[in-house]
Structure 1
Amino acid sequence: MLLPLHAILPEPREHARTGSTLPPLNTTYYFDQLIDHTNPGLGTFKQRYWHTWEFYEPGGAIVLFTPGEGNAQPYTGYLTNATINGQIAQQNNGATIVLEHRFYGLSNPYPDLSAASLKYHTIQQAIEDLVYFAENVKLPMPGGDDVVPDKAPWVLVGGSYSGALTGWTKINKPDIFWAGYASSAVVESITDFWQYFDPIRKFMPRNCSADVQAVVQHFDQVYASGNKSAFTALKDLFGMSNVVHPDDVSGALRNNLWDWQSLSPTSGPGSQFFNFCDALEVKEGKNAPASGWGLDHALTAWGSYFKNTYLSILCGEQDAESCLGTYNATQSQWTDTSVDNANRSWYWIVCNEVGWFQDGAPKRTPSLVSRLAQPNGDERQCVMMFPEAFSSAPVPNVGKTNKAYGGWNAQAKRLFFANGQRDPWRDATVSADQHWVPSTLNQPIFESDGFHCSDLRMAAGVVDTTVNKVQQAALEHMRLWLVEWKLTHHDKRD
């Protein structure tokens, strides 16, 4: 998921050329979006969006961005030139838009997130939303009623899932958006996505990696031995004495690793992930060697950190079983169908179309994660979340998704892919280690040393020259592609 970016620049804002006052960036607009694009007669719902025309001149680009799987209100910063979106707009006399994805935030066709409502929550419906918006919106700016895609060049931007959505839309509806920018785009749907943790293992501090692997292997060995008292002692050590099921216990240790996804080139000491590694690897003011301190110290140190520091960060006032357990069907995480519950909306797409279950690596493969964590456990949780939709554990139909939208083999014109070496999602992108995809002039692929979606924020390029190189390459490609649009659409504009 993309990190939010609130607009923090001074208000009121002014048009870059005329100096005229613009509405505040947090002004919320509403678009009448179709509930079901296969059945327009079903009606419409109010889809929220945010918009500015700070750099817009007639004929300029319309830059559309959706943050994807979350409430879009905290993302108004993506309207500004602090991001690649705003830079594309500034360079090409454009306007920027942040559009909230259906079934996230307050853009909901129905007043709940029941399975009956979520039947209209699919990748294809989301693609159709973007197209219908571009073809029908009347933007609240001068000339905003005359910017349909055959009269103005539209650029679609996204990161992570919404980066994939950018690619999938360019493939599925190639004639609507003239160009696309897809950051950390997870184009390949994968059920058993154990590779999520592999870039973390490779790029995290070596001593921390060594000790994490030692601890999770110990958890698995103790469980396999059948020594229940020894496993109970492990649970107690980590503050999980009341967590009932062993796979919930060992699976909970992934939370420290998931913090890696929040890192960026601008992250420094004090980031949650590095606090975790420091807790394991700094002893009496000294850092562990590359091999780590070893199992005994790592168990004690990780257990103490998890129990005394991390559980309160992770669970707040909840007890460990309520927070980490996944077998109690009465828990609110399964039963809460209220709107603006991003986790539930995301689970629906995960369980049906994309998978991406982040579990232990195969045997004889280095693993930061317990092998008790397996896709069947995630699939079981799909039933817990949506018992009315699944009578048994579903296997996400990733084959259908990849066939429909191309997966790693996605091909589209004027689609820029930007990825990061340190991105845990890297192996689901076109920069995956196990699937080589050529970079071309029409579909360039650039990779930085960055993390997840690092290139979307210009600040990352200030501190990391490899990210800056990707950003500048993207801006040059967009400039050339938008010149091409003007040349090929000259008659239509006249």
Structure 2
Amino acid sequence: MALLRVVTPLILAVYAYASQSIRSVSGRGVPKVHVESYEVTHKVTGEALPPLDTVYLFDQLIDHNNPALGTFQQRYWVSSQYYQPGGPILLMSGGEGDATELIGYLTNYTITGWLAEKLNGTVVLIEHRFFGESNPYPDLSVESFRVHNLQQSIDDYEYFLKNVHLPIPGGDQLGPDKAPWILFGGSYSGALASYTMYKKPGLFAAGYASSAVVEAIADFWEYYTPIRQYMPQNCSADVQAVIAHVDKVFESGNEAEIQSLKDTFGLSDVAHGGDFAWALASVINTWQSLQFSSGPNTTFFNFCDALEVKDGEIAGPDGWGLEQALAGWGSYYKNGPFLLSTCGSLNSSTLATCFDTYDPNADLFTNITVNNWNRSWYWLLCNELGFSLGGAPQGTPTLASRMLAPEYYERICTNFFPEAFRSPPNMFINADRTNRLYGGWNVTTERLIFLNGLRDPWRETGVAVDGSTNLGSDLNPHLLGDGYHATDMSIIDGDVNPSVRAVQLKALQYFSQWLSEWKPSA
């Protein structure tokens, strides 16, 4: 195996013209895959197996530093339709959300099921603590969250591997000393795969980290750099023009001009500049959900159409300019489905509530019921990861307003968790600590594959960061293709894009070699 950093040419044409509120900063990680039927049979014997949506419960330790506190029930799902004795166990981390949304990762429409089919393995999907129904305590209070951190989640994997009895033949004899386990994750869970293998060498036989956000970054304005580079250039030019105008108007302090600008977008009652800026950025952030298989009829490209198509004519590479772009964006928000799908209403006062992050008594901040993924995710952002998405520094082109800055997000942390943060947390300090503990960009863990896409807005948090001196090795491959965010986890995208299929096949090649070399230790 020679070249490890597989950089493929751009093979898809860029279109010539061409829902996220504050409640979804991360975009919920990996692509979702629709499952037509949960009924499965073994591929060799034809035996009917438990449906894919069968829930299994594992008694996980509440606190790995204090086992006396007891256990909670952690959900997991299993597909053994491709399993042959001696095959690997492929563990997929559910990441920051209800893992029932990821049952598709038990099928061969996704990288885990596809590799399981090729390698005669079993796929296990495990739900992350404090997401979905896998909660150590009956609420998401600050007191409950004292055992909600990266290290506890890492320790969950070790305890699971060493103690679970999988519901397959011989499932009580498949510990990591007797069978090869491969850890999978994408986006945040991809970072967690890297962190786990870095902190617990030898626990997993191998790992797969797709679009892994391994470097915690407090002021992550670079999120918008790949979007700006790969989006239609006419749309990019006009978005930049509108955002520059927005910042200029708000900086002027002219209340009449500010109100007129809000009215243009149908956001008249959004009180604060930062929230208004986030409302505008939310449509740009839909880039994160793009996949090659979804085609051009997506929110992002429909938005660009609204800016760049006028009377049937498409703007040139420089766009139409501020006046037309402002009118087009405003009309898209006032009359289109985006804000309606994001907030459930186009009523101005409802939209103001939807984007309001300044009211500490809002349900967004006070709802501590379980399966509230946004609250659980913000706890990790505020304490360990950072990842505030904002405008670029002065002198650098930006798709997002410079009113979005770490201070905007740090204030949100105090609203979510006033008992924990009497003053805003310092995300810079927290992110630096995480990188020191878990290696960040500098990880060289053996038998861990990193896969990144050039179009991924999270690219700069991964090992494919521009200017990286960590280029991988034959035992720590860095595979780079022409993908979006975690595109390589979708086999369907590999079917339509040779660049994606190339990195998938390269991963299969590595795993086949490493599994042939793996030996049990007991």
TM-score (norm 2): 0.92
Looking at structure 2, the residues matched to 100 and 362 of structure 1 have their Cα atoms a distance apart, in angstroms, of 38
Within a 5 Å distance, the mapping from 1:101-140 to structure 2 comes to: 101-140=128-167
Matched, 1:31 2:62: no
**Alignment RMSD:** 1.1
Matched, 1:53 2:80: yes
Report the equivalent of 1:451.
484
Looking at structure 1, the residues matched to 425 and 507 of structure 2 have their Cα atoms a distance apart, in angstroms, of 39
- CA shift, 1:34, in A, is 0.4
Report the equivalent of 1:392.
423
- CA shift, 1:91, in A, is 1.9
In structure 2, what residue type is equivalent to 1:424? P
Report the equivalent of 1:476.
509
Q: Check 1:405–1:209 CA distance in 2 against 1; reply closer, same or farther (3 A cut).
A: same
Matched, 1:315 2:343: yes
Within a 5 Å distance, the mapping from 1:398-477 to structure 2 comes to: 398-477=431-510
In structure 1, what residue type is equivalent to 2:128? H
Looking at structure 1, the residues matched to 31 and 502 of structure 2 have their Cα atoms a distance apart, in angstroms, of 22
Report the equivalent of 2:325.
298
Report the equivalent of 1:183.
210
Q: Check 1:34–1:6 CA distance in 2 against 1; reply closer, same or farther (3 A cut).
A: farther
Report the equivalent of 1:345.
376
Report the equivalent of 2:69.
42
Within a 5 Å distance, the mapping from 1:149-298 to structure 2 comes to: 149-298=176-325
Residues 67, 159 of structure 1: 8 Å contact kept? no
Find 1:16's aligned residue among 43, 56, 66: 43
* Secondary structure of the structure 2 residue equivalent to 1:422: coil
In structure 2, what residue type is equivalent to 1:232? Q
Looking at structure 2, the residues matched to 153 and 269 of structure 1 have their Cα atoms a distance apart, in angstroms, of 41
Looking at structure 2, the residues matched to 2 and 81 of structure 1 have their Cα atoms a distance apart, in angstroms, of 15
Residues 63, 157 of structure 1: 8 Å contact kept? yes
- CA shift, 1:11, in A, is 5.1
* Secondary structure of the structure 1 residue equivalent to 2:472: coil
Stretch of structure 1 that moved more, 342-351 or 312-321: 312-321
Looking at structure 2, the residues matched to 260 and 307 of structure 1 have their Cα atoms a distance apart, in angstroms, of 21
The alignment covers a number of residue pairs equal to 488
* Secondary structure of the structure 1 residue equivalent to 2:292: coil
Residues 30, 489 of structure 2: 8 Å contact kept? no
- Percent of matched pairs sharing the same residue: 51
* Secondary structure of the structure 1 residue equivalent to 2:190: helix
Q: Relative contact order (C-alpha < 8 Å, sep 6+): which is higher?
A: 2
* Secondary structure of the structure 1 residue equivalent to 2:172: coil
Stretch of structure 1 that moved more, 464-473 or 217-226: 217-226
* Secondary structure of the structure 2 residue equivalent to 1:115: coil
Residues 430, 436 of structure 1: 8 Å contact kept? no
In structure 2, what residue type is equivalent to 1:247? G
The list of structure 1 runs, each at least 4 consecutive aligned residues, that deviate by more than 6 angstroms after superposition, is none
Residues 7, 25 of structure 1: 8 Å contact kept? no
In structure 1, what residue type is equivalent to 2:471? P
Report the equivalent of 1:329.
360
Residues 91, 479 of structure 1: 8 Å contact kept? no
Looking at structure 1, the residues matched to 267 and 57 of structure 2 have their Cα atoms a distance apart, in angstroms, of 46
Residues 131, 372 of structure 2: 8 Å contact kept? yes
Residues 213, 461 of structure 2: 8 Å contact kept? yes
Residues 2, 67 of structure 1: 8 Å contact kept? no
Which whole-Å deviations, capped at 9, do the CAs of 1:62-90 have from their partners, x for residues lacking one? 00001200000121110111111112212
Looking at structure 2, the residues matched to 173 and 89 of structure 1 have their Cα atoms a distance apart, in angstroms, of 23
Report the equivalent of 1:369.
400
In structure 2, what residue type is equivalent to 1:144? G
Residues 31, 487 of structure 2: 8 Å contact kept? no
TM-score (norm 1): 0.97
Find 2:414's aligned residue among 371, 383, 387: 383
In structure 1, what residue type is equivalent to 2:257? A
- CA shift, 1:226, in A, is 2.2
In structure 2, what residue type is equivalent to 1:236? D
* Secondary structure of the structure 2 residue equivalent to 1:223: helix
Looking at structure 1, the residues matched to 253 and 193 of structure 2 have their Cα atoms a distance apart, in angstroms, of 48
- CA shift, 1:143, in A, is 0.7
In structure 2, what residue type is equivalent to 1:405? Y
* Secondary structure of the structure 1 residue equivalent to 2:182: strand
Q: Check 1:242–1:33 CA distance in 2 against 1; reply closer, same or farther (3 A cut).
A: same
Looking at structure 2, the residues matched to 334 and 327 of structure 1 have their Cα atoms a distance apart, in angstroms, of 10
- CA shift, 1:321, in A, is 1.3
Residues 250, 370 of structure 1: 8 Å contact kept? yes
